[in-house]
Amino acid sequence: MSLKIREFSATPEDIAAVVEIDNLCDPEHQYTAEQFRYDLENFDTKKYVLRYYLAEKDERVVGYACYHHMPHRFEPKRFWVWVGVHPAFQGQGIGSALYERILSDLRKLSARWLHTSARETWTKSREFLEKRGFQEVMRSWESWLDVRSFDFSRFQRYLEEAKAVGVTFATLAEESEKEAKWPEKIYDLHTAIMADVPSSSPYTPPPLDHFRRTLIENPDLLPDGFFIAKVGEEYVGESFVFRVPAEPGHLTQGLTGVRREHRGKGIAMALKLHVIRYAQEKGYTLIKTWNATNNIPMLAINEKLGFVRQPAWIEYQKTLG
């Protein structure tokens, strides 16, 4: 039977099909239908484009493709693209057909830059992208820390140093109880730090309400595992984690960052130590993090803490003529 490419609709069946393919293509990062629905419903489609297509064979979904603007790196002509084919149906032209489908849309939208990623170990995916003119623009190391055996005694000095320069630590859960302006303060901190995270295209701060919906109100964000470094009442640094519903025991590291004028005082190290202690106390086993290979300070911190490098992620870009 021939291949049919059709539009995605946000039904439980279509969502389950996309999530199943994602999880089969990337078994080390498991995703749930609830997470997919949350991300979909909180993507601002009034401002940004987002579109999914499904590939069907004998009425079974065997692949999907999507393209969307990047709210954190917004440029009307810049899109993130993704094609995923069920492993049992790979090598049959399905990915190519899906890619052609989205490319035709993207040309109509006057897209100029397409971005995507593949793991360095995903040989077939990399060949697929490179054959289609995608070029590597940056790499990130994924690193894992087993928190069960973490030895805090080796790092005590960072907590003492931070204290000596007047830095205190609070969680988002605590701040949201006692600081009326916490949303604006955390937004201001986060957007200032994000501008300094290495990226292949410039950071664009999303509006405050988008920040609230996608980060602060994200059901997987852990407010008592969200640490804020303060000098007086000023927020100067943050480090936070998300639970991973489909991977009990695992946490995903969100942004760790310190305002420029407060760097080099051990604050980032102290923030990460708070996160690791939280993970241990709550019975988590593993923290997964991602760092650009040119993010020297962050890599130095994670190496000192004992994070173990996994295969890198390669970000690709294609420029359309």
Ligand X SMILES: CC(C)(COP(=O)(O)OP(=O)(O)OC[C@H]1O[C@@H](n2cnc3c(N)ncnc32)[C@H](O)[C@@H]1OP(=O)(O)O)[C@@H](O)C(=O)NCCC(=O)NCCS
Residue 162 · residue 270 · CB < 8 Å: yes
The pattern of x and - marking residues 236 through 275 that bind ligand X according to CB under 6 A reads -------------------xxxx----xxxxxxx------
CA dist., res. 15 & res. 211, Å (int)? 24
Closest distance to ligand X from the beta carbon of 302 (Å): 9
CA dist., res. 136 & res. 188, Å (int)? 32
CA dist., res. 113 & res. 227, Å (int)? 36
Residue 30 · residue 247 · CB < 8 Å: yes
Closest distance to ligand X from the beta carbon of 240 (Å): 12
Provide the residue count of the chain. 321
The angle at the Cα of 35, spanning 23 to 66, to the nearest 5 degrees, equals 65
Determine the 3-state secondary structure of 109 from DSSP: coil
Q: Which range binds ligand X by CB under 6 A, 96-104, 115-123, 219-227, 290-298?
A: 290-298
Residue number with CB closer to ligand X (64 or 158): 158
Binding flag, residue 167, ligand X (CB under 6 A): no
Residue number with CB closer to ligand X (17 or 273): 273
Residue number with CB closer to ligand X (99 or 155): 155
Residue number with CB closer to ligand X (174 or 196): 196
Residue number with CB closer to ligand X (173 or 300): 300
Q: Where in 300-319 is the site for ligand X (CB under 6 A)?
A: 300-301
Q: Where in 187-226 is the site for ligand X (CB under 6 A)?
A: 193, 196-197
CA dist., res. 217 & res. 254, Å (int)? 14
Closest distance to ligand X from the beta carbon of 296 (Å): 5
Residue number with CB closer to ligand X (47 or 157): 157
Closest Cα partner for 305 from 247, 250, 256? 256
Residue 135 · residue 114 · CB < 8 Å: no
Which residues are at the interface with ligand X (CB under 6 A)?
193, 196-197, 255-258, 263-269, 291, 295-298, 300-301
